[in-house]
C-alpha cells in the first residue's frame, strides 16, 4: 500500500499507483504534514489493510511519499523514491476528477439559483430601462417635430402618436417648412421609438405569462407587472411571502419613509401599490384604507403562491370586494 499526504488529502493507493481512497485533511493536519510530522490519520491508515498484514509478517511496507522514515508499532513507514512517479500520476488523475466534479457542482448550483422570480426581477428592471429610453426618445422626437408641427407636437406630447406624425408628414401648420432629409431623419428616430415600444410590449407579455404560470394568485390580484415590481422590491418571491402586509404596503416608498424619519416630513401611506386600479378608483380619503386592504390581500396571495398552495384567486377577489364597502 502507498500513502501520499498531499494538499488534496491523504491518497491511499495500491502498488500500481491507483487511488483507492482520498481522506480529507483539516488545516492543522496539513501544517503538521508540512513540518514532516506524522498525523494520526496516517498512522491509522498504516495500521489497516495491507499495512496491518505487514506489521505481523514484516514482509511488506507502507510507503509514505513524504520525506520521513521511522517505525511505528512494528510498521515500517518509509519513503521510496521509486514510488514518486505513482504520486505524480495519482495527483493528476485526482485533480482531473475534482475539476470535473466542481464543474458539475457549479453547473447544478447555477441552475438551482435561476428561478422564476430572479428572471422576473431582471425582466422588470429591463422594462424600467426600456420605459426610460422610450420616454427620452419621444421627448427628443417631440422637440424636433415642434419645429414643423408645433400644434400637433404639443397636443400629443410624450405620446406614440408622435411617431405617426413623423411618418405621415401632415399638412404644414404655422411651423417651419420641412425638407425631405429632415423628414427622413425624423422617420428614423420614430422607428427607434416604435422598436422600443414593441420591446416593452414583448417584455410585459413575457412577465404576464411567467407570473401567471408561477404566481397565479399574486398576478391576478396585483397584476403581472406590479407583481414583478413587488418581487423585485422585496428581493425575491420568498422575501415577499415572508413580509408582513404593512411592509408590503410601503414597498417603493423607502425614500419618502427615510425622509420622514430624517426630517419629520409627513410619512407615506403607501408605495407602488397606489397605482393599482383598486386604489386609483377610490377618492383620496379612501386611499389609506384601500391600500391596507390591498397589501393584506397581496401578502396572502404571495404566501399561497410561494408555498405552492391552491388557486384562491376568486376568494381573494371577493375579499377585496367586501373591503371596498
- Which CATH architecture group holds 215-325? Orthogonal Bundle (1.10)
What angle do the packed helices 224-234 and 116-145 form, to 10 degrees? 110
If you write DSSP's letter for every residue of 72-107 in order, what string do you get?
ETTEEEE--GGGHHHHHHHHHHHHHHHHHHHHHHHH
Structure-block grid coordinates of residue 211: 407570473
Element (H, E) at 26: none
Q: Which residue has the higher pLDDT, 26 or 94?
A: 26
Most confident listed range (47-56, 89-98, 229-238, 280-289): 229-238
Dist. CA 104–CA 231, nearest whole Å: 30
**Paired residues of 37 in beta bridges:** none
Handedness of CA 309, 310, 313, 317 (dihedral sign): negative
Residues 61-81 have a mean pLDDT of: 49
Residues 73-77 have a mean pLDDT of: 52
Dist. CA 260–CA 209, nearest whole Å: 38
If you write DSSP's letter for every residue of 292-317 in order, what string do you get?
HHHHHHHHHHHHHHHTT----HHHHH
Domain 115-214 in CATH 1.10.510.10: no
* CATH class belonging to 2-109: alpha beta
Question: b/e per residue, 84-107, with b = 16+ CB within 10 A?
Answer: eebbeebbeebeeeeeeeeeeeee
How does pLDDT run across 220-274, given as a tens digit for each residue?
999 999 999 999 999 999 999 999 999 999 999 888 888 888 888 888 888 999 9
pTM of the model: 0.65
How does pLDDT run across 95-121, given as a tens digit for each residue?
787 788 888 888 887 777 778 889 999
Strand-strand pairing, 9-13 and 19-23: antiparallel
Proportion of the chain above pLDDT 70, given as a percent: 79
Dist. CA 133–CA 74, nearest whole Å: 80
> Domain boundaries in the chain?
2-109, 115-214, 215-325
Element (H, E) at 209: helix 180-214
If you write DSSP's letter for every residue of 218-277 in order, what string do you get?
HHHHH-HHHHHHHHHHHTSHHHHHHS-HHHHHHTT-HHHHHHHHHH-PPPPS-SGGGGSH
Predicted confidence (pLDDT) at residue 177 exceeds the cutoff of 60: yes
Amino acid at each position: 500500500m502507498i500513502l501520499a499526504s498531499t494538499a488534496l488529502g491523504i491518497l491511499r493507493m495500491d502498488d500500481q499507483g491507483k487511488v483507492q481512497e482520498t481522506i480529507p485533511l483539516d488545516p492543522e493536519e496539513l501544517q503538521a504534514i508540512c513540518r514532516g510530522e506524522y498525523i494520526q490519520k496516517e498512522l491509522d491508515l498504516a495500521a489497516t489493510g495491507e499495512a496491518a498484514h505487514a506489521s505481523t509478517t514484516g514482509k511488506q511496507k507502507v510507503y509514505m511519499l513524504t520525506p520521513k522514515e521511522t517505525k511505528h508499532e512494528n510498521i515500517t513507514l518509509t519513503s521510496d523514491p521509486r514510488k514518486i512517479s505513482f504520486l505524480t500520476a495519482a495527483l493528476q488523475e485526482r485533480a482531473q476528477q475534482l475539476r470535473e466534479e466542481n464543474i458539475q457542482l457549479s453547473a447544478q448550483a447555477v441552475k438551482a439559483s435561476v428561478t422564476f422570480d430572479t428572471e422576473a426581477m431582471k425582466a422588470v428592471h429591463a422594462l424600467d430601462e426600456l420605459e426610460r429610453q422610450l420616454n427620452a426618445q419621444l421627448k427628443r422626437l417631440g422637440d424636433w417635430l415642434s419645429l414643423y408641427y408645433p400644434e400637433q407636437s404639443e397636443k400629443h406630447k410624450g405620446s406614440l402618436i408622435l411617431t405617426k406624425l413623423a411618418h405621415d408628414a401632415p399638412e404644414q401648420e404655422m411651423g417651419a417648412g420641412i425638407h425631405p432629409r429632415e423628414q427622413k431623419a425624423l422617420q428614423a428616430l420614430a422607428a427607434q421609438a416604435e422598436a422600443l415600444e414593441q420591446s416593452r410590449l414583448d417584455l410585459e407579455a413575457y412577465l404576464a405569462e411567467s407570473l401567471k404560470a408561477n404566481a397565479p394568485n399574486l398576478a391576478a390580484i396585483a397584476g403581472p407587472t406590479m407583481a414583478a415590481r413587488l418581487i423585485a422590491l422585496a428581493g425575491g418571491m420568498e422575501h415577499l411571502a415572508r413580509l408582513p402586509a404593512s411592509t408590503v404596503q410601503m414597498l417603493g416608498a423607502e425614500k419618502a419613509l427615510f425622509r420622514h424619519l430624517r426630517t419629520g416630513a409627513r410619512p407615506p401611506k403607501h408605495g407602488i401599490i397606489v397605482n393599482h386600479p383598486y386604489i386609483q378608483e377610490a377618492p383620496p380619503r379612501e386611499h389609506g384604507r384601500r391600500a391596507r386592504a390591498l397589501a393584506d390581500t397581496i401578502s396572502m396571495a404571495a404566501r399561497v403562491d410561494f408555498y405552492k398552495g391552491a388557486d384562491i384567486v376568486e376568494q381573494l377577489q371577493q375579499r377585496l370586494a367586501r373591503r371596498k364597502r
